[in-house]
């Protein structure tokens, strides 16, 4: 039976971490939809027109290990403004969402555009400062030289672009449960998410 969990929110709010744990808990498949935009953004940096890249996207492109860099994140948010690029990526996401056995999708517009009928919706947030600190720590751990102010500026720039675009802007669905992870460790954030999904299952 299909059961879709939509998890949206801004960069480094904890969506991916929560999504993986929730998917594992319920035995559902997980799709990080940011990887679709990152894969297209990556191609754009190589000079390939974004729409061509979106049309030619294959599932294995999401496994590339150079998709996590700050440059690719910015490129992703630039191609994500283009309505035709977004349109190209809809069918794949909707098919994944309605697969038998349940699915967790995380991104920016899952609960509002991709799957407004999702059985459970979460909107995961945290302050920009906390999110920038998390990304900064990740970059340091990966051996990337950067500074906190630069990461914070990057996070703010991407937030503004994601919230300000006309097509599928980042915003909570009216029926989403909000989880602010600013003061939560991963275990506490995951526990809140599992509780919210369990409650939604009970309503279904
Ligand atoms: O997917 P998204 O960009 O929203 O965030 P993430 O990749 O799940 O989390 C970003 C970083 O914050 C990771 O290094 C997580 O381990 C960390 N994190 C945290 O410190 N506390 C939380 N409650 C959630 C995530
Ligand atoms: O991991 P992080 O939260 O930093 O970013 P991501 O989820 O990998 O998304 C990268 C960019 O793709 C975002 O800044 C958005 O512009 C775009 N995106 C989107 O527009 N819609 C989605 N469903 C997922 C990502």
According to CATH, the superfamily of the domain at 4-191 is: P-loop containing nucleotide triphosphate hydrolases (3.40.50.300)
Establish whether 9 is an annotated binding residue: yes
Ligand nearest 12 Cα, by number?
1
ipTM of this predicted structure = 0.98
Q: Which of 110, 125, 139, 122 is nearest to 21 (CA)?
A: 122
Does residue 118 have a known ligand-binding role? no
pLDDT for the residue 1: 80
Q: Whose CA is nearest to atom 14 of ligand 2?
A: 77
pLDDT tens-digit readout, 99-151 = 999 999 999 999 999 999 999 999 999 999 999 999 999 999 999 999 999 99
Distance from the CA of 37 to the center of ligand 2, in angstroms?
A: 7
List the chain pLDDT tens, one digit each, 204 residues: 899 999 999 999 999 999 999 999 999 999 999 999 999 999 999 999 999 999 999 989 999 989 999 999 999 999 999 999 999 999 999 999 999 999 999 999 999 999 999 999 999 999 999 999 999 999 999 999 999 999 999 999 999 999 999 999 999 999 999 999 999 999 999 999 999 999 999 987
Nearest to 89 by CA among 125, 121, 61, 122: 61
Is residue 200 classed as helix, strand or coil in its secondary structure? helix
């Amino acid at each position: 039976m299909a059961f879709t969990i939509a998890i949206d929110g801004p960069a480094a709010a904890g969506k991916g971490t929560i999504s993986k744990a929730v998917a594992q808990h319920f035995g559902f498949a997980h799709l990080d939809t940011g990887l679709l935009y990152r894969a297209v953004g990556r191609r754009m940096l190589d000079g390939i027109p974004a729409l061509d890249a979106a049309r030619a996207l294959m599932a294995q492109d999401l496994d590339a290990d150079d998709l996590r860099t700050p440059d690719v994140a910015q490129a992703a948010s630039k191609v994500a403004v283009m309505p035709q690029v977004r349109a190209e990526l809809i069918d794949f996401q909707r098919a994944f969402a309605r697969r038998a056995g349940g699915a967790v999708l995380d991104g920016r517009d899952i609960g509002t555009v991709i799957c407004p009928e999702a059985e459970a919706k979460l909107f995961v947030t945290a302050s920009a400062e906390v999110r920038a600190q998390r990304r900064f720590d990740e970059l340091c751990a990966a051996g990337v030289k950067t500074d906190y102010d630069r990461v914070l500026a990057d996070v703010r720039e991407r937030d503004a672009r994601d919230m300000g675009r006309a097509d599928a802007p980042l915003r909570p669905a009216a029926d989403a449960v909000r989880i602010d992870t600013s003061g939560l460790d991963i275990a506490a954030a995951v526990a809140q998410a599992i509780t919210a999904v369990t409650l939604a299952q009970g309503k279904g």
